[in-house]
């Protein structure tokens, strides 16, 4: 018969057709002459070899259902099933088994289907074969190569991990030439695989020699690529350490990456503050560099251990750390609490005295109250001014003497005082919300016993929550009082006595204008101390 019998009138060369993935044409060819399925091409490959090699499921199904043989060996003794295992498509492997594939066939090198699937690098396919119960991971080929040797030669760390797990393969097994998996990995410059093998078998495998008397370290040093140089550096560190030890994981790089955003941020901010007026420009130039440096990092840090990259955790922590420090060191002391504590509340100076009066006599003649004269400061008081006996000063626009601040609240700090109360109320509200979230996430409070359990275990949170509730209620009352006074253009001590109550929107306007601009409407009515 003519050797190109497959090139029939129906469609052409079956191998070509399979490589093009043309299923319809393939079906035509097979229908015309089923013997094409037994035809062997280059290397003794059958059409099924090609389909399995490509991992074309539909095509494999077509060939199998038309009687293609999964066990037909090629010139090297490898069957289409071996090819399917190497490709790693579990569905095709399963199809072949259902069509009578012999799992235990070995090729001319003595490699089993398991060896082929390991070389292919698909862990799922390896697991599938292992589940058949027909293989041992200690099986070697004719040259005593174990599956681990093959995995190390591909550099596939997933497969190496799988084979080392549960002692599936011995990490120090030597082949005919005395070559261990570490020899193979080191010769390839496979850093991650070498690290996994050393972690499993300890540093003693670093000193095992092959038939030529070479250790893995010797083989690695002969390599010329960057990977070989990196691996040589790593192995060099361990070569003089005791052989019964395992290489210690190094977390230096991990912690450096974790702290990098905080530390670099701190350095930049310190330099910026030292530069004075040029600090802003410096930050504008350097912070984009920092952001780019962080955002361009991968999910794993660039080390042989391949640890998860903590740079984003570090960035978030840096944000919280720097904001907290800035808030407590700069904003809070300067803007609110300390300023309210230390700022002049509006002490009455000699120049501020009411010019209309020069003596008590003139006061009496003008029919003014005697309280216009401060008997402690001996000064005539303008409107809305009162002497505080605790502070021993007269205070303009006197509101009250705050015991919590040990300070008078008056013209100089009244607005700031309101901001302080507002920010405290907001902070307490945030605390209450957060503690409610925390407790509701931890406890299902349906029964009385659940409440007791919570009360016993969470006293810290509960006591503080209760105190925060009380403080918040008190702050709300304080704010209502303050709004009442401020919205009338007055203080809580000198409440304005309007005959006609002003509409609410106008009072809001007055309060907002005071809060935002610090302006009070000019007094045009009589004020009365209450």
Residue ranges that bind Zn ion, judged by CB under 5 A: 374, 376-377, 387-388, 390-391, 394, 401, 408
CA distance 394 to 507: 28
Residue 359 CB, nearest approach to Zn ion (Å): 17
Residue 407 CB, nearest approach to Zn ion (Å): 7
Residue 457 CB, nearest approach to Zn ion (Å): 44
CA distance 26 to 18: 7
In the complex with Zn ion, the residue whose CB is nearer, 86 or 386, is 386
| Helix 147-154 with 157-164: angle, nearest 10 deg | 160
Residue 354 CB, nearest approach to Zn ion (Å): 13
In the complex with Zn ion, the residue whose CB is nearer, 33 or 481, is 481
In the complex with Zn ion, the residue whose CB is nearer, 269 or 394, is 394
Residue 525 CB, nearest approach to Zn ion (Å): 25
Helix%, strand%, coil% for the chain, nearest 5: 60, 5, 40
In the complex with Zn ion, the residue whose CB is nearer, 162 or 493, is 493
In the complex with Zn ion, the residue whose CB is nearer, 292 or 389, is 389
Contact 359, 343 (CB under 8 A): no
Grouping H, G, I as helix, E, B as strand and the rest as coil, residue 269 is helix
In the complex with Zn ion, the residue whose CB is nearer, 123 or 402, is 402
In the complex with Zn ion, the residue whose CB is nearer, 380 or 431, is 380
Contact 454, 482 (CB under 8 A): no
Residue 281 CB, nearest approach to Zn ion (Å): 45
In the complex with Zn ion, the residue whose CB is nearer, 344 or 468, is 344
Residue 395 CB, nearest approach to Zn ion (Å): 7
Residue 387 CB, nearest approach to Zn ion (Å): 3
CA distance 146 to 139: 6
* DSSP secondary structure code for residue 503 in this structure: P
Residue 356 CB, nearest approach to Zn ion (Å): 18
Query: What does the H/E/C string look like for 193-243?
Result: HHHHHHHHHCHHHHHCCCCCCCCHHHHHHHCCCHHHHHHHHHHHHHHCCCC
Beta partners for residue 291, in sequence order: none
Residue 495 CB, nearest approach to Zn ion (Å): 19
* DSSP secondary structure code for residue 527 in this structure: B
User: For the chain, what's the residue count?
Assistant: 530
Question: How far does CA 161 lie from the centroid of its chain?
Answer: 25
Contact 246, 203 (CB under 8 A): yes
In the complex with Zn ion, the residue whose CB is nearer, 287 or 337, is 337
- Hey, which bits of 17-107 come out as E strands? none
Grouping H, G, I as helix, E, B as strand and the rest as coil, residue 380 is strand
In the complex with Zn ion, the residue whose CB is nearer, 254 or 527, is 527
Max Cα–Cα distance, the chain, nearest Å: 143
Report residue 73 as tokens. 């060996």
The closest alpha carbon to 149, from 132, 129, 135, 163, belongs to 163
Residue 410 CB, nearest approach to Zn ion (Å): 8
In the complex with Zn ion, the residue whose CB is nearer, 106 or 402, is 402
Residue 514 CB, nearest approach to Zn ion (Å): 21
CA distance 113 to 106: 7
The closest alpha carbon to 310, from 96, 28, 302, belongs to 302
Kindly write down the DSSP assignment for every residue of 288-349, as one continuous string.
Answer: HHHHHHHHT--SB-SSTT-PBP-HHHHHHHHHHHHHHHHIIIIIHHHHSHHHHHHS---BPP
In the complex with Zn ion, the residue whose CB is nearer, 374 or 462, is 374
| Residue 143 CA: distances (Å) to CA of 108, 196, 210, 350, 474 | 11, 24, 14, 107, 85
In the complex with Zn ion, the residue whose CB is nearer, 129 or 385, is 385
Residue 383 CB, nearest approach to Zn ion (Å): 15
């Amino acid at each position: 018969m003519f050797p190109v019998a497959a090139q029939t009138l129906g469609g052409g060369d079956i191998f070509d057709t399979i490589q093009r993935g043309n299923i319809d044409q393939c079906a035509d060819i097979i229908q015309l002459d089923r013997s094409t399925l037994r035809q062997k091409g280059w290397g003794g490959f059958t059409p099924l070899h090609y389909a399995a090699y490509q991992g074309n499921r539909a095509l494999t199904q077509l060939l199998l259902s038309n009687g293609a043989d999964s066990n037909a060996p090629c010139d090297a003794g490898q069957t289409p099933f071996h090819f399917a295992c190497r490709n790693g498509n579990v569905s095709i492997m399963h199809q072949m088994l259902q069509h009578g594939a012999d799992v235990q066939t070995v090729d001319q090198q003595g490699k089993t289907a398991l060896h082929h699937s390991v070389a292919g690098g698909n862990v799922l396919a390896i697991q599938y074969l292992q589940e058949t119960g027909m293989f041992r991971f200690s099986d070697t080929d004719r040259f005593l190569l174990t599956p681990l040797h093959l995995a190390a030669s591909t550099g596939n760390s997933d497969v190496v991990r799988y084979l080392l797990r549960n002692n599936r393969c011995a990490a120090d097994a030597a082949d005919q030439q005395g070559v261990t998996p570490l020899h193979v990995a080191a010769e390839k410059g496979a850093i991650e695989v070498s690290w996994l093998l050393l972690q499993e078998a300890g540093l003693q495998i670093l000193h095992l020699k092959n038939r030529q008397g070479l250790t893995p370290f010797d083989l690695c040093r002969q390599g010329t690529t960057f990977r070989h140089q990196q691996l040589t550096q790593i192995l060099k560190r361990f070569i003089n350490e005791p052989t019964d030890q395992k290489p210690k994981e190094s977390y230096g790089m991990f912690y450096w990456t974790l702290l990098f955003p905080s530390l670099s941020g701190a350095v930049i901010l310190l330099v910026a503050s030292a530069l004075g007026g040029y600090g802003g420009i410096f930050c504008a130039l350097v912070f984009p560099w920092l952001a780019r440096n962080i955002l361009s990092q991968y999910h794993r840090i660039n080390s042989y251990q391949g640890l998860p990259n903590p740079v984003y955790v570090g960035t978030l922590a840096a944000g919280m750390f720097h904001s907290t420090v800035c808030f407590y060191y700069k904003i809070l002391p300067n803007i609110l609490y300390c300023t309210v504590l230390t700022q002049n509340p509006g002490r009455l100076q000699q120049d501020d005295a009411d010019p209309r009066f020069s003596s008590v006599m003139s006061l009496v003649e003008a029919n003014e109250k005697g309280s216009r004269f401060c008997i402690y400061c001996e000064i005539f008081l303008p409107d809305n001014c009162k002497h505080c006996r605790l502070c021993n000063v007269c205070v303009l626009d006197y509101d009250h003497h705050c015991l919590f601040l040990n300070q008078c609240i008056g013209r100089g700090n009244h607005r700031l005082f309101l901001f302080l109360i507002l920010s405290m109320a907001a902070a307490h509200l945030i605390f209450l919300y957060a503690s409610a979230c925390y407790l509701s996430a931890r406890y299902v409070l349906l029964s009385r016993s659940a409440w007791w359990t919570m009360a016993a275990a969470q006293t810290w949170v509960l006591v503080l929550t209760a105190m925060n509730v009380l403080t918040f209620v008190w702050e709300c009352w304080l704010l209502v009082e303050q709004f009442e006074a401020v919205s009338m253009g007055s203080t809580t001590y000198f409440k304005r006595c309007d005959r006609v109550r002003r509409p609410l929107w106008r009072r809001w306007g007055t309060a907002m204008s005071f809060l935002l601009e610090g302006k009070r409407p000019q007094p045009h009515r009589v004020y009365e101390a209450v």
